[in-house]
Amino acid sequence: MKVFVQAAWAIFWKDVRAEFRTKDIITGMLLFALLAVLIFNFAFELRVENVRQVLPGVLWVAIAFASILGLNRSFVLEQDRGSLEGILLAPVDRSALYFGKMMGNLVFMLAVEVVLLPVMVVLFNVNVFHPVVLLFVFLGTLGFAIVGTVFAAMAVNTRAREVMLPVLLLPVMVPVLIAAVKGAANVLDGASLSDVTNWLKLLVVFDVIFLAVAFMTFDYVVEE
């Protein structure tokens, strides 16, 4: 167990440090997310009667597409420099590699959200810093990181790798997107925590099941 945590931490810390040196992924994701929000603003003229109902949708479209951008990079880097083979040679459980990569991707996405959320508060004049809304955002992001890391490892080995990831990931993520958007929209619209427990349960169930399946199947993805 100690070895597992150490190995996962090593992978995670390697990714975070590499990212701090170049800042490629986070900057790209953040700019993309901001642009998506701005385009939504022009496209739909978000001065509808109740902006609280639409806001989580806009937020999640931005997060979903930005995270796909980041997830794509996470294994392309390893693949292009041949470092994945090196990591796989290490005598540790491969799910440790998964866990480290997943935590890295999660942290990058959360870092983007930390900047994106205040910007949305300013642009739309709606306070999204409600603890339940933040919980929905976190659980949804966790789901994206859990499934996205497995699929990114597969997509990088396919012919049209950048195209493959969104095609694979988005339909699987639909329940997470629905739960995260509906739950957050209801809370912003004045619902209490007990009104949205259904959506919260769905998110938690989804995250737990998919984490278990990801742990079981990741070995098959990276074995060569």
Partner 1 sequence: MDRNRWTWFEGLALFAAVMMVINLYMGLIRAPDPVNLQTEVTRKAQHIFYYHMGMNVMAGLGLTLNFLSSVVYLITRRRFWDMLARSAAEIGVVFGVGVIVSGSLWARPTWNTWWTWDPRLTTATITVLLYIAYLMLRNAVEDPNRRARFAAVYGTFAYISVPITFMSIRWWRTIHPTVFGGSNPEAQGAFTLGPTIRQAFMFSMITFTIVFVTYIVLRMRYAHLEERVTALREQILLKLSHSAEAEPVKGGRP
Give the binding site for partner 1 (CB under 8 A): 147, 150-151, 154, 157-160, 164, 167-168, 171-172, 174-175, 178-179, 198-199, 202, 205-206, 209-210, 213, 217, 220-221, 223
Shortest CB 108 distance to partner 1, Å = 22
Residue 80 vs 219, nearer CB to partner 1:
219
Query: Is the Cβ–Cβ distance between 150 and 214 less than 8 Å?
Result: yes
Residue 120 vs 165, nearer CB to partner 1:
165
Shortest CB 193 distance to partner 1, Å = 16
CA atoms within 13 A of residue 156's CA, in its CB half-sphere: 23
Q: Give the Å distances, CA to CA, from 66 to 21, 144, 163.
A: 20, 11, 14
Shortest CB 63 distance to partner 1, Å = 19
Shortest CB 216 distance to partner 1, Å = 8
For CA atoms 22, 14, 118, 201, give the dihedral sign: positive
Q: Which residues are CB-neighbours of 64 under 8 A, at least 6 positions away?
A: 144, 170, 173, 177
Residue 17 vs 159, nearer CB to partner 1:
159
d(CA 37, CA 158): 31
Shortest CB 163 distance to partner 1, Å = 8
Residue 32 vs 199, nearer CB to partner 1:
199
d(CA 33, CA 75): 21
- 136: burial class by Cβ within 10 Å (0-12, 13-18, 19+)? buried
d(CA 111, CA 123): 19
Query: Both ends of the chain: CA-CA distance in Å?
Result: 25
Residue 63 vs 173, nearer CB to partner 1:
173
Question: Which helix H or strand E contains 193, and what residues bound it?
Answer: none
As given in the structure block, the two tokens for residue 186 are 């209801």
Residue 120 vs 169, nearer CB to partner 1:
169
Shortest CB 158 distance to partner 1, Å = 4
Shortest CB 110 distance to partner 1, Å = 23
Residue 63 vs 154, nearer CB to partner 1:
154
